[in-house]
């Protein structure tokens, strides 16, 4: 852990424990992964919103959904905005902002199925 990390951990643990929402904007997927691993590795935040332009979907999904339980809600509002909720009420909002590209829902769904075992949460019909 960096010196800054030690200062934060030593002086502000109530802040991390009381934090209910964390929002990222204008940061890379790698930056989000680094912040979550450095500052929040031992907590699962109730709500995280991430707005990214350069999406490394594998790295991003692993970081954003670490510690999240089985998903009970997945909403694709359009090709750029998604929301997932787990059975314990943790919320993960994803906003992909890129003027040239959109993020297909199936790509998000595929990564969530890998990292969150979605195949175990979806009931078979019939």
**Domain presence at residue 126:** no
**Domain presence at residue 70:** yes
What's the structural domain count of the chain? 1
Q: Does pTM surpass 0.85?
A: no
d(CA 63, CA 59): 6
Q: What is the pLDDT of residues 15-68, one digit of tens each?
A: 667 788 999 988 888 998 998 888 888 888 899 998 887 777 788 888 888 888
**Domain presence at residue 54:** yes
Helix (H) or strand (E) holding 91: strand 91-96
Q: What is the pLDDT of residues 62-86, one digit of tens each?
A: 888 888 888 888 888 887 788 999 9
Distances (CA, A) of 67 to 41, 46, 86, 115: 9, 11, 10, 10
**Domain presence at residue 96:** yes
- What is the domain range of residue 45? 3-121
Q: Reply yes or no on whether the pLDDT at 103 is more than 60.
A: yes
- Residue 113 structure tokens: 């199925």
């Amino acid at each position: 852990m960096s010196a800054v990390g030690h200062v934060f951990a030593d002086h502000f643990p109530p802040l991390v424990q009381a934090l209910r929402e964390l929002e990222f904007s204008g940061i890379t997927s790698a930056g989000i992964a680094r912040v979550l691993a450095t500052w929040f590795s031992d907590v699962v935040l109730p709500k995280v919103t991430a707005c990214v332009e350069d999406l490394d979907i594998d790295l991003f999904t692993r970081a954003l959904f670490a510690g999240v339980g089985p998903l009970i809600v997945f909403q694709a509002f359009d090709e750029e905005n998604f929301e997932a909720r787990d059975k314990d009420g943790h919320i993960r909002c994803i906003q992909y902002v890129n003027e040239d590209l959109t993020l297909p829902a199936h790509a998000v769904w595929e990564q969530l199925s890998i990292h969150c075992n979605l195949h175990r949460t979806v009931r078979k019909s019939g």
